[in-house]
Structure 1
Amino acid sequence: MLNRRHFSTAIMAGAAATVIASKANAQTAATATVPATPVAPGAKARNIVLVHGLFADGSCWTGVIPRLQAAGLNVTSVQNPLTTLPDAVASAQRVLNRQDGPTVLVGHSFSGMIVTEAGMHPNVASLVYVAARAPDAGENYTALAKTYPTPPASAGIVFDGDEGRLTEEAFLRDFAGDIPAVKAKVLYAVQEPFHKALLAGQVTQAAWRHKPSYYAVSTQDRTINPDLERFMAKRMGAHTIEVKSSHLSMISHADTIAELILKAAG
């Protein structure tokens, strides 16, 4: 029979082995579908991965998704956790891992940060930015944005402790300004609060320096300065379109944004 000391030692050893095995299984599951070699930049894509930004959730792409599906594409909308940039990038990477072949990675607003970092994933063939942040590696986006006039929506951000959100007035006027009020109020009701820590993140690599990029500038944007959007689009050498739209062009101009994504898909 085992004495108490030997029994405890055996239990701890077994637990440690279980933890190690669990970690190994998790790592295997996370990387199982990642291709051995990257897809070619600009390769014709059959998959689209969409990422939402602040004050929203994955449902903000519902106007674009059926248009892409009608073209025969496999579409997934990521539910961005809005906690920290590493968490948000990891959520996109898990979805990218599941894609079978070339994929277009699309980001709106803040999620341009995610697209810029996660876009280095070997499944990603091209990138689409929709009124989105597009920082360079190691760049302080906040400092960059301050070189342009501050957009009105910034004044409408309020915090409950560590969580930030837009007031209803700012949401309807400065975020969803060209969307019918009844629909905009529904979008306001489902906005997902973001954590302050999310805004402190910086990207470590810029996928747009390595892969074909597309950019939709919202000319009536009151959340990101349109001239800042133009600067970022020009800097990345993106195929750029201008949409007479509020920040939410993928909702108010779903056909136009879907066409840009289809162009990126080849």
Structure 2
Amino acid sequence: MFRTSLLATALALAGVASPVLAAPADAEAPPTVILVHGAFADGSSWNKVIATLQAWHVPAIAVQNPLSSLEDDVAATRRAIAAAPGKVVLVGHSWGGTVITEAGDDPKVQSLVYVAAFAPDRGQSSAQQGEGFPVGPGLSRLQEKDGYLWLPADAVAEDFAPDLMKKTAALLYSTQVPLKASALGEAVTTAAWRNKPSWYVISRDDRMLSPQLQAATARRIGAQVQSLGASHVSLLSRPAQVADTILEAAGVKPAELPLAEQGG
């Protein structure tokens, strides 16, 4: 009987997933920040930013993208948007910028934040957006196997995350998620930044996505800009500054909220 009841409960939840996960929204509550990681990373790359946002009582969720296709990553992001109780600030790093450009065309999304990220236009792919700009040194060191791209350890340390401690860069290498190469050629069908207020965090020392491309992208989408002297992974090397931009996009002024006690 216990097993039958458990199965029935599971089936019931499956049929009403969104209402169960999405609690009623509090009109006074800050929006939920949904963080979309890029290639060669996973949701844990946002851990430091999440800790800062939560310290200001701003809910934050990291999406775990399979990095198997644009469609798959957009689907994962849309599930997170549907589960949020109210308005959403959608944040994308690197490849994640392409994902939020497609997934951000949702009435729950109030604003977009791009962190050293792609932001293609309608009908354009990430690869096409990069045409005409310098190729980052790290991209020339990509390895491919079975259609997936990944970074060797020395490229992670020297190009992907040169401003992190060596042991942290080694951990990033060991936990990286390869990207399906064909995803870079998949075009978005919509460009959410055309209809949503946008912010852009430029990494001036980026060796993966050229700073020139980032600056041009920020201008093209009409974003409010923060420029950091950081590598491609500013979300790990400069998390407080990245979080400041996200709070601004969320309409939250840190001075107006009490800083939560931070545990170890």
The 3-state SS of whatever aligns with 1:183 is helix
> CA RMSD of the aligned region, Å?
2.1
For residues 206 and 44 of structure 1, what CA distance do their matches in structure 2 show? 27
For residues 21 and 217 of structure 2, what CA distance do their matches in structure 1 show? 32
- How far did residue 77 of structure 1 move? 0.4
- How far did residue 123 of structure 1 move? 1.2
1:137 maps to 122
After TM superposition, the score normalised by the length of structure 1 is: 0.84
The 3-state SS of whatever aligns with 1:50 is strand
For residues 69 and 31 of structure 1, what CA distance do their matches in structure 2 show? 24
What are the Cα deviations for residues 92-123 of structure 1, in whole angstroms up to 9, with x where unaligned?
Answer: 00010010111100000001011101111221
For residues 98 and 61 of structure 1, what CA distance do their matches in structure 2 show? 19
**Which residue, 73, 83, 86 being the options, matches 2:58?**
73
Query: Runs in 1 of length 4+ with deviation above 6 angstroms?
Result: 31-35
2:170 maps to 185
Larger CA deviation: 85-94 vs 199-208: 199-208
Pairwise mapping of residues 31-46 of structure 1 onto structure 2 (< 5 A)? 45-46=30-31
- How far did residue 45 of structure 1 move? 3.8
The answer to whether 1:219 aligns with 2:204 is yes
- Maintained 8 Å contact 2:116/2:232: yes
For residues 31 and 45 of structure 1, what CA distance do their matches in structure 2 show? 20
Structure 1 residues 155 and 27, CA, compared in 2 at 3 Å: closer, same or farther?
Answer: farther
- How far did residue 233 of structure 1 move? 0.4
For residues 125 and 202 of structure 1, what CA distance do their matches in structure 2 show? 23
For residues 121 and 27 of structure 1, what CA distance do their matches in structure 2 show? 22
1:234 maps to 219
The 3-state SS of whatever aligns with 1:125 is strand
- Maintained 8 Å contact 2:161/2:232: yes
Percent of aligned pairs with the same residue?
Answer: 40
- How far did residue 140 of structure 1 move? 3.4
The 3-state SS of whatever aligns with 1:188 is helix
1:200 maps to 185
User: What runs of 5+ residues in structure 1 fail to find an aligned partner?
Assistant: 1-21, 36-42
- How far did residue 69 of structure 1 move? 0.5
Structure 1 residues 232 and 82, CA, compared in 2 at 3 Å: closer, same or farther?
Answer: same
Structure 1 residues 74 and 147, CA, compared in 2 at 3 Å: closer, same or farther?
Answer: same
- Maintained 8 Å contact 1:44/1:102: no
The 3-state SS of whatever aligns with 1:205 is coil
For residues 202 and 31 of structure 1, what CA distance do their matches in structure 2 show? 31
- Maintained 8 Å contact 1:152/1:174: yes
For residues 201 and 29 of structure 1, what CA distance do their matches in structure 2 show? 29
Pairwise mapping of residues 94-133 of structure 1 onto structure 2 (< 5 A)? 94-133=79-118
After TM superposition, the score normalised by the length of structure 2 is: 0.84
What are the Cα deviations for residues 57-88 of structure 1, in whole angstroms up to 9, with x where unaligned?
Answer: 00001111111001111111000010010000
- How far did residue 46 of structure 1 move? 2.3
1:167 maps to 152
**Which residue, 132, 137, 145 being the options, matches 1:152?**
137
